[in-house]
A and B are shown apart, each in its own frame.
Chain A
Amino acid sequence: MPEIKPMEGNQAVAEAMRQINPDVVAAYPITPSTEVVQTFSSFVANGLVDTNYVAVESEHSAMSACTAAAVAGGRVMNATSSQGLALMWEILYITASLRAPVILTVVNRALSGNINIHCDHSDGMGARDCGWVQLYGENVQEGYDNLLQAVRIGEALDVRLPVMNCIDGFLVSHSYELLQVEDDAPVKDFVGPYQAVNPLLDISHPISIGPLDLWDYYFEHKRGQCDAYPPAKEAILAVGKEFGKTFGREYGLMEEFMLEDAELAVVALGSTAGVAKVAVESLREDGVKAGLLKLRAFRPFPAAEIAAALQGKKAIAVFDRAISFGAASGPLFSEVAAALYTAGQQIPALSVLYGLGGREITPEQISGVFRQLPEVASGGQPADPVLFLGVRE
């Protein structure tokens, strides 16, 4: 029987990894994701998994070893945060380009400098163009559920992409919540066996992986890689649906919370969606037609689906927990705005930059943003849409 247990986000991720029992984990500790690899190491030490655990000397080597192990032909997992993800950056592109379905839990944390160990999405957003699928979870349960699904999504034969399972540092990674832990057997059935595609270890079919690729072929290869993302979107939907049938919790590209009849909407990622739900509920009690679009899949970016979900709203606020320095707005805002523009929808929108370095975000603050939206709606798109929320100016 599935058990409901109090667990921290990191423990939930490690528990999912135990159930998945990957062939290789090559990892390096970093706050706040350390506990994932620490807990998993204890599973290795106690024989609860068959994983070959490679305790590498850096995140760069971690992602190098993970990528190599995955192309060798097997299931590979890892976890990191912040500077660790930044150090992997060079290899992240290669992992995706080699179509190696490595699964990486990213416990989101601010990037230096200055050094800060708390949550924001600078690390994940910094890696948004590297070709990985990115799923953002709201809470402990989603950190667990998304990891189980990530394996299926990344390994789908028409996808073959690495996947980041993102959860908010400390807010989710170190928060105890009640987690429904599924039984090992159905999890193993759901995840299924690994299917190798052109494994390097196939000695009778030797292939060269990672050749020099110049002006005459490189572009075609990059163009070809683009073809993996529409199937990835389909896989997220299909796997999310199957997960719902199997375990009772269905997932899609996004979650719409009181959004359908909403006039004013907030778009957010991660644990902030939970805070926004509280705000939306209380605003609804006051008669404000508020709604939330919680984005689960940031990569592939579901542009058309977002535009459809926001169609007809009078004004929206897009919450970014990361700054794209020098850009006109937050990274999520830019993409949502582009999605709306492409769909021919001119919805007045605010770009809300908040929560950097773990700065708290409250339902009251989000309600405050909602209360600004009617004015935005009537005034049309502001020339400078950026609103810094919760910062001392």
Chain B
Amino acid sequence: MPKNLKQLSESEVRLTGGHRLCPGCGEPIAVRQVLMGTEDPVIVVSATGCTEVSTTIFPYTAWACPWLHIAFENAGAAVSGVEAMYKAKLARAAKGETLPDYIPADKPYKFVAFAGDGGTYDIGLQSLSGAAERRQQFLYVCLNNEAYMNTGVQRSSATPMGMNTTTSPAGSVLPGKTVHRKDLTEIMVAHEMPYVAQCGVSRWRDLVGCAEKAFAVDGPTFINCLTPCPLGWIHDSSKTVEIGQLASDCCIWPLYEVVDGKYKLNYRPKEKKPVDEYLKAQGRFRHLFKDESGAEMRRKMQEWVDYKWEQLLKKCAEE
């Protein structure tokens, strides 16, 4: 069971304050909540990205737990390597060799990789897919702000249709990104991982709870967490959590989990809000409210959201 806020406030702080992520960034919210999902020792692996560069500017680090960064596209492989060494040491100890004194025998380790959508949907997908197939024990969290924010808001395959990015700019001919994003959560479900969840930063009980469930699995697990980005989404830094909630209320980002192949909706809005409400709250979609072609694109997005939502409800056996 997820802990209450009081208990969570007393849990070990693994990502400390003093990092240099933007005010209102969704990523540290997600990281801190995910890491509240276990009391066991945690080793963190980061892919290159906003969280990585902003938390470890030498000679400082915001990490109070062991942390490793190697490169951009290899978080899956890197977390595999660390886990493999840990398991190798345990296996040798089981055969009678001495466990290194820095590994406590009575505290099982957890391994978590954090990577952005660029490092997960795009350049790191192969590495993640391989690690998932090998059934190694780790939680992989995609900190999904729907574009390459670290390099200045370029489109990724997580970028939603219609978004104005610096490589899919809204111009006089093109209305921002012209194609839908890839459904990575479903791609990871197709890997038949024991636990996959889609989460956000607005419902702490949901995110911490999903992380708890993921950490409890002895196998590969995946959380795709939407992390609003005031810089790239163009909203006030005080609105991060609100916008995240709006994404789930209009069902463009449903919160659900798949446990051993079984779907469960983790949040159903009392009233499904129109996608327009979500779009108009963010500067990245501002151009869609200027003319008829923008309106046409918004209609297409609503249709797509409705279609995906209906599909998901069926999978979750919800009416």
Are A203 and B41 in touch, CB under 8 angstroms? yes
Determine the distance from Cα of A206 to Cα of B61 in the docked complex, in whole angstroms: 11
Which residue on chain A has the smallest CB distance to residue B67? Answer: A208
B68 and A200 form a contact (CB under 8 A): yes
B74 at the interface (CB under 8 A from A): yes
Query: With contacts A68-B45, A68-B82, A210-B70 known, is A217 near B59, CB below 8 A?
Result: yes
Kindly state the separation between the CA atoms of A67 and B127 in the bound complex, as whole angstroms. 14
Question: Using Cβ atoms and an 8 Å threshold, which residues of chain B touch A66?
Answer: 81
Query: Do A56 and B69 touch (CB < 8 A)?
Result: no
State the Cβ distance, A277 to closest chain B Cβ, in Å.
Answer: 41
A200 to B66, CA, bound (A): 6
Question: Which residue of B has the minimal Cβ distance to A90?
Answer: B71
Q: Are A23 and B78 in contact (CB under 8 A)?
A: no
A 326-346 binary contact with B (CB < 8 Å = 1; else 0): 000000000000000000000
The answer to whether A58 and B78 touch across the interface, beta carbons within 8 angstroms, is no
Alpha-carbon distance between A324 and B102 when the two chains are bound, in angstroms: 46
Q: Which of A56, A62, A73, A212 contacts B57 (CB 8 A)?
A: A212
Scan residues 254-272 of chain A and give those whose CB is less than 8 A from a CB of chain B. none
Smallest CB–CB gap between A226 and chain B, Å? 18
Contact B127 A61 (CB under 8 A): yes
A214 to B57, CA, bound (A): 8
- For residue A50, which residues in chain B have a CB less than 8 angstroms away from its CB? 88, 91-92, 95, 97
* Candidate in B53, B69, B77, B130 with the most chain A CB atoms within 10 angstroms: B77
User: Which of B59, B66, B109 sits near A207, CB closer than 8 Å?
Assistant: B66
Interface size class of A (residues with CB under 8 A): 35 or more
- Knowing A24-B84, A26-B81, the reply to whether A64 touches B61 (Cβ < 8 A) is no
A110 partner residues in chain B, CB cutoff 8 A: none
A4 contacts partner chain B, Cβ-Cβ < 8 Å? no
Q: Are A23 and B81 in contact (CB under 8 A)?
A: no
CB of A196 within 8 Å of the partner chain: yes
In the complex, residue of chain B having the shortest beta-carbon distance to the beta carbon of A57: B130
Q: Is B299 an interface residue (CB 8 A)?
A: no
* A54 close to chain B: CB less than 8 A: yes
A212 touches B100 (CB 8 A): no
Query: For residue B97, which residue of chain A has the nearest CB?
Result: A50
Q: Which of A74, A90, A217 contacts B85 (CB 8 A)?
A: A74
A56 to B91, CA, bound (A): 20
Instruction: Give the docked Cα–Cα distance between A58 and B77 (Å).
Output: 10
Residues of A within 8 Å of B104, CB to CB, are 203
Closest chain B residue to A199, Cβ basis: B102
- Give complex CA distance A183, B67 in Å: 40
The answer to whether B65 touches A206, judged by C-beta atoms less than 8 angstroms apart, is: yes
Taking the closest CB of chain A, its distance from the CB of B215, in whole angstroms, is 15
Of the candidates A61, A69, A76, A200, the one having the most CB atoms from chain B within 10 angstroms of its own CB is A61
Asked if B81 and A57 make an inter-chain contact with CB atoms under 8 angstroms apart, the answer reads no
The total of Cβ contacts below 8 Å across the A-B interface reads 176
Is B300's CB within 8 Å of the partner chain A? Answer: no
Q: Is A71 an interface residue (CB 8 A)?
A: yes
Does residue B52 face the partner (Cβ distance < 8 Å to A)? Answer: yes
Do the beta carbons of A94 and B127 come within 8 Å of each other?
no
Nearest Cβ in chain A — how far from B242, in angstroms? Answer: 30
Contacts of A60 in B (CB 8 A): 73-74, 77, 127
Q: Is there contact, CB below 8 Å, between B134 and A212?
A: no
B interface, size bucket: 35 or more
List, in ascending order, chain B residues with CB within 8 A of A26's CB.
77, 80-81, 84
Docked-complex contact A199 and B100, CB < 8 angstroms: yes
A224 CB within 8 Å of chain B: no
Residue B1 is within 8 A (CB to CB) of chain A in the complex: no
A residues less than 8 Å from B53 (CB atoms): 212
A70–B81 Cα gap in the complex (Å)? 8
Given contacts A64-B78, A203-B102, contact A72 B85 (CB under 8 A): yes
Q: Mark A33-74, 1 if CB is under 8 A from B, else 0.
A: 000000000000000001110111110111011111111111
The verdict on B272 contacting chain A, using a C-beta distance below 8 Å, is: no
The interface centre, meaning the residue of A207, A208, A213 with most chain B CB atoms within 10 A of its CB, is A208
In the assembled complex, which residues on chain A have CB atoms less than 8 Å from the CB atom of B260? none
Tell me which residues across on chain B come within 8 A of A213, comparing CB atoms.
58
CB of A205 within 8 Å of the partner chain: yes
Shortest Cβ distance from B46 into A: residue: A210
Complexed CA–CA distance, A199 and B102 (Å):
8
A158 interface contact, C-beta 8 A: no
Q: Is B82 a contact partner of A201 (Cβ separation < 8 A)?
A: yes
Residues of A within 8 A of B85 (CB): 23-24, 52, 68-70, 72-74, 76, 201
A201 touches B109 (CB 8 A): yes
Query: Are A64 and B100 neighbours in the complex by a CB distance under 8 Å?
Result: no
Asked if B129 is at the interface of the complex by the 8 Å CB criterion, the answer is yes
B297 contacts the other chain (Cβ, under 8 Å)? Answer: no
| A201 engages B70 (CB within 8 Å) | no
CB distance from B154 to the nearest CB of A (A): 19
A67 partner residues in chain B, CB cutoff 8 A:
70, 78, 81
Nearest-Cβ distance from residue A9 to partner chain B, whole angstroms = 27
Question: Do A91 and B74 touch across chains, with their CB atoms under 8 A apart?
Answer: yes
Pair B69/A68 contact, Cβ less than 8 Å: no
Given contacts A201-B66, A208-B67, A211-B58, contact A68 B88 (CB under 8 A): no
In the complex, chain A residues whose CB is within 8 Å of the CB of B134: 54-56
Chain B window 136-168, contacts with chain A (Cβ cutoff 8 Å), 1 for yes, 0 for no: 100000000000000000000000000000000
Residue B64 CB within 8 A of the other chain: yes
**Interface membership of A305, Cβ < 8 A:** no
Report the Cα distance A209→B95, complex, angstroms. 30
Can you list 17 A-B pairs with a CB-CB distance of less than 8 A?
A: A52-B84, A54-B80, A55-B134, A58-B130, A60-B74, A65-B84, A67-B81, A68-B78, A69-B82, A69-B88, A91-B71, A94-B70, A200-B82, A203-B109, A210-B70, A211-B61, A212-B58
5 smallest CB-CB distances across A and B, nearest first, come from: A68-B81, A57-B130, A65-B81, A61-B77, A211-B56
Interface residues of B (CB under 8 A from A): 41, 43, 45, 52-53, 56-59, 61, 63-71, 73-74, 76-82, 84-89, 91-92, 95, 97, 100, 102-104, 107, 109, 126-127, 129-130, 133-134, 136
Given contacts A64-B78, A68-B78, could you give 6 more A-B pairs where the C-beta distance is less than 8 Å?
A: A24-B88, A58-B127, A72-B86, A199-B102, A203-B109, A206-B67
